[in-house]
Amino acid sequence: MNLTFRQLKVFDVVARHLNYTKAAKELHLSQPAVSMQVKQLEEQVDTPLIEKLGKKLYLTDVGMEMHNYARSTMQQLIDLEETIGQMKTLQQGHLKLAVASTANHFVIRLLARFANAHPKIRISLEVTNRSSLLDLLDKNECDLVIMGSPPDGHNLMSLPFLENPLVVVACPEHRLIAKKKVTLKELIKEEFIIREEGSGTRSAIERFFAGQELAFKTKLDMSNNRAIKHATEEGLGVTIVSMHTLELELKAKTLKIVNVEGFPIYRHWYVVQREGKRLSPIATVFKDYIMEGADDVIEEFTRPLYQHLEQSSR
């Protein structure tokens, strides 16, 4: 069947009135035009929908079923129109966001403030590694991604919105903590606990040491940032992580920043989307919020972290 919205709408009105003249008046059409639409609909289903007995119109059994579906379709379209209107005014909507595991802590803060301002929206949050983030973008399974610098060749649009310092940390009892300044040559004598091959953090670290013509010794590599920090707390080695992942550990004094020459390594966090993707209204507003309106949340989060960084350099 090749039914049209116009045919269903006309039939719905005719079926309610069972009178072509009244239906034509409601639809602001001529009576022949209304009759023609019903006739074309009957031709599509190849069976009568309305029968005339004496001077009255009646729905056939098929006509009754068609009227039920026509009413349901009309109501769904009305609901759709209302939903779209609400989404445009941000009364509701579904934000699909994916973030790098190292960005999770501060992104949750941003989302909490954003969700409070838009209480009727629904948020799906995927926290995963760099490879999975790129896969989600390739498959168009999320609106936006928050991650480190994305690679070339994936047809992505990215904008930096927050500085991301990578720092050297160790357990409080580690010998390097007592040193006022640690040289890179001293640092590379240590055993490193580090992210897995292919992670953005590891790639940045490898580029940094390669630029200094130095190599570091890897004791453990892990895909879980929390496990890396726990291993470092237990004294298994030193690590280099985003300062933004250290809020709880620095506050609890289970890890301390080592003052190393050339550190922090400064990277950036990016908000990323597929090139050409048309964002939903709520995703557009969230992106604008990140780029322009989240300064207070970010400053509140980063201020104590930078204080720890300053203390380590004294």
Q: What is the pLDDT of residues 92-128, one digit of tens each?
A: 688 999 999 888 888 998 999 899 888 888 899 999 9
Considering only residues 78 and 237, tell me which one the structure prediction assigns the higher pLDDT. Answer: 237
| Position 190 confidence tier, pLDDT thresholds 50, 70, 90 | very high
Q: Which fold has domain 94-162+268-305?
A: D-Maltodextrin-Binding Protein; domain 2 (3.40.190)
Residue 194 neighbours by CB under 8 Å, 6+ apart: 201, 202, 205, 218, 220, 221, 222, 228, 239, 240
- The highest-level CATH class for domain 5-88 is mainly alpha
Q: What is the pLDDT of residues 212-263, one digit of tens each?
A: 999 988 999 998 889 999 999 999 999 999 999 998 999 999 999 999 999 9
Q: Residue 300's pLDDT is what?
A: 81
Helical spans, DSSP H, in the chain:
5-17, 20-27, 31-45, 61-88, 104-117, 130-138, 184-187, 200-211, 225-233, 247-252, 281-288, 295-312
- The highest-level CATH class for domain 164-266+307-312 is alpha beta
Q: Same CATH topology for 94-162+268-305 and 164-266+307-312?
A: yes
Query: What rounded mean pLDDT belongs to the chain?
Result: 88
- Give yes or no for a contact between 165 and 243, defined as CB atoms under 8 angstroms apart: yes
Q: How many angstroms separate the CA atoms of 127 and 299, rounded?
A: 23
Angle of helix 61-88 relative to helix 5-17, nearest 10 degrees? 120
Segments making up each domain of the chain, as ranges: 5-88, 94-162+268-305, 164-266+307-312
- Give yes or no for a contact between 23 and 10, defined as CB atoms under 8 angstroms apart: yes
Q: Residue 172's pLDDT is what?
A: 95
Burial of residue 128 (CB within 10 Å: 0-12, 13-18, 19+) is: middle
> Which has the minimum average pLDDT: 67-71, 88-92, 126-130?
88-92
